[in-house]
Chain A
Amino acid sequence: QKEVEQNSGPLSVPEGAIASLNCTYSDRGSQSFFWYRQYSGKSPELIMFIYSNGDKEDGRFTAQLNKASQYVSLLIRDSQPSDSATYLCAVTKAAGNKLTFGGGTRVLVKP
């Protein structure tokens, strides 16, 4: 079992719709959770992080964390073609200084 699992996609959404991405993790000791965006041929960049159960909103992005169920999700509202990318979920363990990445979900936003 992989430590961090994501559906590879592609997740195809029409422009203006909500894209919903899910991520599950196996280690109950995981403490911090991150979403990175990676455009094709580019390096990843951090877009969201969440530490506590519940929702965290930043602009059109909302991260949701449920530690009891060991999943974290990312919602992208009003999806734009520029949101087309691979979204990587990453987690750290307690007092950890390393990120473990999932395989990523490829999102395609169609005009």
Chain B
Amino acid sequence: EADIYQTPRYLVIGTGKKITLECSQTMGHDKMYWYQQDPGMELHLIHYSYGVNSTEKGDLSSESTVSRIRTEHFPLTLESARPSHTSQYLCASSESAFTGELFFGEGSRLTVL
């Protein structure tokens, strides 16, 4: 069982609020990822990190930002949430020697009113 945790699992907030989605893993993985997935739709990579102080934007443009100050922690922040940000956000990690196996957290479902 993968040891990767996301909080909050569910969040309902108003437009304009700042939110941070937390993601932590205890596997010592260097590589971490944020995916966005709408119900019944594909996963889109929005951010990734190959290690501390390394972050890159993914294939889908996102207004969110990320940081990687510690290996185990990869939070995602939205400075001013909008209804268009309503989605499921999935955090994942993988081993340093990339095998294609991603370990996913349980996800954070964000609803912006």
Contact = CB atoms under 8 A, between A and B. Distances in A.
Interface of A: 8, 32, 34, 42-46, 49, 88, 90, 92, 96-104
Contacts of B40: 8
Given A43-B105, A43-B106, A43-B107, A97 B98 contact: yes
7 contacts: A34-B100, A43-B90, A43-B104, A43-B105, A97-B50, A100-B45, A103-B41
B80 to A, nearest CB: 27
Contacts of A101: 35, 42-43
A90 B40 CA distance: 16
A45 B58 CA distance: 21
B19 interface: no
B48 A98 contact: yes
Interface residues of B, number: 23
Contacts of A97: 31, 48, 50, 94, 98
Enumerate the 10 nearest inter-chain pairs by beta-carbon distance, A residue then B residue, closest first: A43-B104, A103-B42, A97-B98, A101-B43, A46-B101, A34-B100, A32-B100, A101-B42, A49-B100, A44-B104
B41 A99 contact: no
Interface string B73-113: 00000000000000000100010001111101111000000
Interface string B24-45: 0000000101010000111101
B59 interface: yes
Nearest to B31: A97
Contacts of A44: 43, 90, 102, 104
